[in-house]
Amino acid sequence: MFDIKSNNDGRLSPESISFIQERLAIYLVGGPGHSSCRPNPNFTIDYPQRMLKITAEQVFLVDFDSSNIANFAALSYCWGDKHTLELKPPLRLTAATLHNIRSGVQISELPLTLKQAIDICGYLDLEYIWIDALCIIQDNPSDWAREAKKMATVYATSAVTIIAASSTSCHSGFLTTTRNLFIVNTPPHPPLRLVAQPGRLSGFYSEIHITSDHIDKRGWTLQEELLSTRYIKFTEDDVQWMCGSGTECICGQPTARDKLRPFLTTEYEEIQRQPREEWLSIAAGLANRHFSVATDKLQALSGLARMNESEMQSIYVAGIWKSHMQPEPNSTSTRTALAWKVKDIGRCYEAYVAPSFSWASLDSSIFLYDNVPARSVCDIITVGTTPTSPSDPFGRVSDGFLTISGPVLPCVISGSGEDRLTYHVGIEWDLEATFLYCSLDCPVRRILLDDDEHTLHRHPHGETKFESTAAHVIVLYLGSSTMMGLVLGREPGRGCYQRIAFVHAKLTNAAVTQLNKLERHHRQEITIR
C-alpha cells in the first residue's frame, strides 16, 4: 500500500470542470429538484452599482446592468492578514485607481485568487464577476456603506458564488488541491487493485470533524455563504456544490446530512424550520470569527438581518432580535439572545461596536446556554440602537439600549485575577445559592463615580484583579432550582448600567421563594447600554 498525492498546480482538472459545469447547467435549465431553487423573495432587491466585465485578457469596471442578472458570479475569499497585504499590496478600487480599472486591467496583474476566480467564470461561460475589493471604493466611507449593505442582493442573485475556501489570502490561490489515494495491489489470482481515499475534513464535512477551512475563520465569509442561493466551494481536497436543493461534491463522499439553506425559499419549505434557532446559531458562529476591522462585525451580518426581517417580525438590535431575548413560549428551545457567556478570555474593543448586552460587543467567542429556565421573570420594556448610517438600521451602530423590568439584587463582587482562562469573580448577595458560573465578560476597570462610590466598567486595558465593589444583578430567568441573570456595573454619568458578567446559580428552596416575592413586589426598571 502506498500514498499518491496529485497536485493540479493551479489548473482545474477536467473532472472538476465537468462537475461544476454540469451542476450549474442543471440549475439554469430548472432540472429535477431545482425548479424552486431561487432567492428568498422576502427582501428588497438592491443591486450593486458596479461589477467587472470579463474579456479574454482584461477586466473592466462597469455599471451594473440588471439585464445581466443571471450572467455574473460573486467571489467569497480571504483578503489576507495585515502583514501579507502590507508586504504585497493588492490592487483595490480607490479614488486613485477608479479610472484605470474602468479603462481595463490585465487579468495577469491581479492577485492569484482573483485570477483563478475569473478562470472559473470562463469555464462556466459567465461574463461578469463581483469582487468586493474591485467593486466598492475602499477609501470612500459613503460608497462603502452604501454598497456593503447590497451584499444580500449580490450573493442571493448571482448565478453562483465562488468560495475560495482553501485560500489564505488574495495572493495564495485556491485551485491547487491535494487528493490522497491509497492503492492496494492484491495477489494476481485474480488480478485486483483497490483504490480508496480518506474521508474529507473540509466544507460540508467540517461540522462533523475537528478541522475546517481557512475561510471559516474570517468574519465576512459566513454571511457571504449563507446569503448565496447556490455556490461552488473549493476546499483543500474537494470541489463542492450547494444550492437550495441539496449538496454534491466531486469526492462522492455522502454528507452527514443535507444542509438546509437558512432564509432561502426552496422545495424544503414544507420541512419545519426554526428561524430563531438558526439565527442564534449564526450569531454564535460569527462571534467565533476574526475581523480585521472591529466595526465591521454588525455590517457582516446586516444582509442576513435585512433578508430575515419579515420572517422574524421583531425589532433588530445590534445582532439580536427583541423576540429572542426571552424563552419562546410553548417551545422545546431554551436558548435566548441574552443568555451567553464568553469562551476562554473575552476582550473589549477599542472602538464602540455594540451595546454591552449584545454578544457582538466583545472580541470573543461565545457560548449560548441550551438550558435556560423556561420562565422569564423580566419584561422587555423597550430596545433600540442608533445606526451609524440612518439608512441602514441593520449595520454599524453608535449606541444601543435595553430597558428592562425585573427583580434586581444588590451585590458585591471581587476579582482575584488568578484564573488565566476565565475571569471567575467572587459575588456576595442576600441569596442562598451555589454558583454554577460567574465570570467577567472581559477585563474591567474600577471607577470612582460622582457620588463617591466605585463601579466596574469594561475596558480594553482593564484588569481581572480588583477589590470588593458594589454591583447589581438583574434576574432574567428562574427555574425550579436555578436562576440566570446579568451582573451590572453603573455607567458613569449616564444613569444606566453596563453588563460586566453573566451569572448562573443553583438555588435553595428558600432562595426560589425569595426571588418569587421579589418578582411580584419589588421589580425595578433599569436601562442597560
SS3 sequence, 257-306? Answer: CCCCCCCCECHHHHCCCCHHHHHHHHHHHHHCCECCCHHHCCHHHHHHHH
The percent of residues in the chain predicted with pLDDT above 90, rounded, is 62
Band the pLDDT of 66: cuts 50, 70, 90.
confident
Q: Is the pLDDT of residue 108 over 80?
A: yes
pLDDT in tens, 272-311: 568 888 999 999 999 989 998 999 999 999 999 998 888 8
What is the pLDDT, as a whole number, of residue 255? 58
* Residues 25, 27, 31, 35, Cα dihedral to 10°: -160
* Domain end call among 221, 240, 273: 273
Please tell me whether residues 253 and 303 are part of one structural domain. no
Query: Can you give the pLDDT at residue 238?
Result: 86
Could you list the residue range(s) of the whole structural domain that residue 68 is in?
2-273
Residues 360 and 465 reside in one and the same domain: yes
Q: Is the dihedral of CA 245, 251, 255, 260 positive or negative?
A: negative
**379-387 and 316-317 beta bridge pairing:** unpaired
Same domain assignment for residues 15 and 35: yes
pLDDT for the residue 387? 95
* Average pLDDT for 167-189: 67
CB burial of residue 212 (10 Å; 0-12, 13-18, 19+):
middle
**Residue 141 and residue 234 in one domain:** yes
pLDDT in the model for residue 258: 43
The predicted model gives 404-426 an average pLDDT of 86
Given 273, 304, 331, which residue is the final one in a domain?
A: 273
- pLDDT above 90: residue 435: yes
What's the pLDDT score for residue 60?
Answer: 97
Whether 267 and 306 share a structural domain: no
What mean pLDDT value characterizes the chain? Answer: 85
Please compute the mean of the pLDDT values over residues 83-92 and round it to a whole number. Answer: 93
When divided into structural domains, the chain yields a total of: 2
Residues 6+ apart with CB under 8 A from 443: 347, 348, 423, 458, 459, 460, 461, 462, 463, 464
20-59 per-position pLDDT tens digit? 999 888 876 665 555 556 666 566 789 999 999 999 999 9
Mark whether 221 and 206 lie in a shared domain: yes
> Is residue 9 located within the same domain as residue 101?
yes
- Per-residue pLDDT at 357 exceeds 80: yes
pLDDT at 6 over 80: no
Give the CA distances from residue 278 to residues 248, 252, 336, 367, 524, in Å, rounded to whole numbers and listed in that order: 22, 28, 12, 15, 33
Please give the average per-residue pLDDT across 155-169, as a whole number.
Answer: 93
- Looking at the fold, whether 246 and 290 belong to one and the same domain comes out as no
pTM of the model: 0.86
Quick one: pLDDT at residue 492? 87
Residue 67 vs residue 112, higher pLDDT: 112
Q: Are residues 521 and 480 in the same domain?
A: yes
Cell numbers linked to 473? 444583578
| pLDDT, position 165 | 93
Residue 502 amino acid letter = F
Quote the percentage of the chain above a pLDDT of 70.
83
Comparing 257 with 331, which gets the higher pLDDT? Answer: 331
Q: What is the reported pLDDT for 260?
A: 41
Is the same domain home to 59 and 114?
yes
* DSSP β-ladder status, 160-163 and 72-76: parallel
β-bridge partners, 501? 440, 487
**What is the dihedral angle through the alpha carbons of 433, 435, 439, 445, rounded to the nearest 10 degrees?**
30
60/257: higher pLDDT: 60
Q: What is the mean pLDDT of residues 389-398?
A: 92
Query: Could you tell me if 191 and 333 lie in one domain?
Result: no
Reported as a pLDDT band with limits 50, 70 and 90, residue 471 is very high
pLDDT band at 14 (very low <50, low <70, confident <90, very high): confident
Lowest mean pLDDT among 19-23, 202-206, 267-271: 267-271
428 has pLDDT over 80: yes
Report residue 209's pLDDT band, with 50, 70 and 90 as the boundaries. very low
Which pLDDT score, from 0 to 100, does residue 418 have? 73
Choosing from 209, 244, 273, the residue where a domain stops is 273
Residue 334 scores a pLDDT above 90: no
pLDDT of the residue at 275: 86
The runs of H, that is alpha helices, within 191-259 are: 219-227
Q: Same domain, yes or no, for 396 and 458?
A: yes
Can you tell me the distance from the alpha carbon of 407 to that of 378, in angstroms, rounded to the nearest whole number? 7
Q: What is the pLDDT of residue 262?
A: 44
